Amino acid sequence: MREPIRDNPPPRVLKVSGADIELGNFVVRSDDPGCSCREASRALLAEIKGLPRRELYRYNSQPTNWQSVVYGARPVGGGALHQGCSFDDHDLPQDWGRKFLAENGGCVYIDLDHLELCIPEVTNAWDHVAATHAMYRIARSALLSANEKQRGDSKIQALVNNSDGQGNSYGSHISFLLTRRSFENIFSRKSVDLPYLASFQVSSLIYTGQGKVGSENGSLQAAYQLSQRADFFESLTSLPTTYRRGIVNSRDEALCGATGYTMQPDSYARLHSIFFDSTLAQGSTLLKVGVMQIILAMIEAEQRNASLVLDDPVEAVVQISQDVELKNCVPLASGKRLTAIELQELFLQDARRFADEVGFDGIVPRASEILDLWEDTLAKLRAGDVHLLAPRLDWVLKLMTLERTLDRRPQLNWGSPELKVLDLVYSSLDDDGLFWSYQKTGFTEVFVDDQRIEELTETPPDDTRAWTRAMLLRCAGDDVIDTVDWDVISFRLRGPRYWPVTRKISLGTPLALTRADSESIFRRCENLAEVLDSINVASCQPITEDGTDSSMSACQPRESIH
């Protein structure tokens, strides 16, 4: 049953999004293909310029005796330590060597020996697609530079995928801005919000998956499935991201300064989604982010349909992922059984109704275009015209490639190592990457043009705090940058009598200190100290006599909460 439209709707906020994407990285060697993910991730990170600059820890580049996968060496996944390896304090760090990029306001770092790419905050799904591909370009450039320094026949490989074929998964996370009230409703107050969100995510695999040969983690055997992550979810919700993974992650880390941790209903929170696959096709990425924005906007408005809740989302995620024909039914809590397409169509119907009666204006940019693309995709899936979606959806394009290979080489089958190689090569960032080959021929569907991708490689988004973050990094340089995080930057300036003074700037509100708010400050100020003073005034942050901010909270933007 759908919730009735309320006379006094809850506060809502523009669905700002971000993403962090872990790469599969390793070194291919003809003499010894042992574990080299540590070496590869650090070599890639060293080729990316960012702030603050810190000397990388020394690492042992000698390969160990880990069993290699069919294509290169076995990456670390899930934080697991494998027999035969020894590690020191810096071998498997989480969030290691973080660098923020002065070019676009994003960042890179190493997480459990994977290079992790983080896009700057964006306000719409189209910029999310562009920023994601911008970070892929930055990683690809680092890959080419790092390989120029490799000796002999060694070669670093970097894959935009989510599992190593040996039972380990590495993440692809998306973040969405929510009101604190909505976050509390999902995880501690409302009985419907969490299973409703989980049921939407699980059924969305039909257009968000990258596709995968085989199965892992004790899952039922499958020749091919829609999602690379599906085998690794073991609970409805969880705080950890590397074990006992939950479909809906409960991490409460707003990255919005002090305002993110208050219990006030108009303060901010961040939904940290670990469910989705890394995607390369622009259509998959646009749908993954845009439709999720729509569903979260409905949850935030407390308009959700309890009749769409799955009986067992954890079991359903594998059933849907392994259903390449898209015909199997999964049980709802009501006892009704529906296919994933039918369930998604009901979510779409509710979203259309919400658009007519409440609206997404100011909350989900270009919502009508997202709804149309969602509807068109579901219609083609229902009609059985899956092949028509190969230019739009990763799992379909990959499946088409693999089936063509099987047709041309009848001696192969779904268990052949050659097909697993093609699965991995599909996501390669190097010249051998199959997705990029399709893109170069003009086969893939384009939603964001090359010019916008290049812009977000070199410049930050105008309409979030990422713009001011990037400009501050450019203005300051490495000499005075102490620490950088999403919501705060710390500087060490020369004070009276050359005594160092610490200055901190809060970027606590993702929708404040945009280009419109800050550009005039950078134009008129002659030095960094003046810039910091002016930004503090603009963001309502008092400054103590020694120049240290006495408050780490920023003012709420006047028009960000609706």
- The answer to whether residues 317 and 205 touch, using CB atoms and an 8 Å cutoff, is yes
**Cα distance between residue 237 and residue 205, in whole Å:** 18
CA–CA gap between residue 26 and residue 38 (Å, rounded): 8
Cα 212 to Cα 322: distance, rounded to the nearest angstrom: 10
| Amino acid (1-letter code) at residue 75 | P
Residues paired with 506 in a beta bridge: 488
The strand pairing partners of 235, in sequence order, are 246
Between the alpha carbon of residue 38 and those of residues 42, 97, 163, 455, 557, the distances in Å are 6, 13, 16, 31, 42
- CA atoms of 534 and 512, how far apart (whole Å): 14
Q: Give the residue from 154, 150, 53, 163 showing the smallest Cα distance to 99.
A: 53
Q: Of 89, 79, 72, nearest to 35 (Cα)?
A: 72
- Measured CA to CA, the distance from residue 68 to residue 57 in angstroms comes to 25
Say if residues 149 and 40 touch (Cβ distance below 8 Å). no
- Smallest CA-to-CA distance from 23 within 349, 347, 424 is with 424
Q: By CB neighbour count within 10 A (0-12 exposed, 13-18 middle, 19+ buried), where does 370 fall?
A: buried
Say which residue the tokens 């809906």 belong to: 248
Residue 212 has phi, psi (to 5 degrees) of -160, 140
Out of 31, 88, 111, 164, the active site residue is 111
CA angle at 124 for the pair 121 and 130, rounded to the nearest 5°: 75
* Rg of the chain over all Cα atoms, to the nearest angstrom: 24
How is 45-99 classified by DSSP, letter by letter? HHTS--BS--PPPP---S---PPP-SSSPPPP-TT---TT----TTTS-SSEEEE
- Whether residue 527 contacts residue 553, with contact meaning beta carbons closer than 8 Å, is answered with no
Q: What angle do CA 93, 95, 97 make, to 5 degrees?
A: 90
Separation CA 261–CA 267 (nearest Å):
8
Helix (H, G, I), strand (E, B) or coil at 545: coil
122: DSSP letter:
B
- In angstroms, the CA 71 to CA 156 distance is 12
Q: Where do runs of H (alpha helix) occur along 100-164?
A: 125-148
**Furthest CA-CA distance within the chain:** 79
The partner residues of 318 in beta bridges, in order of sequence, read: none
- Per the DSSP assignment, residues forming a β-bridge with 428 are 159
Task: Return d(Cα 555, Cα 511) in angstroms, integer.
Answer: 10
Residue 111 falls in the annotated catalytic set: yes
Catalytic residues: 111
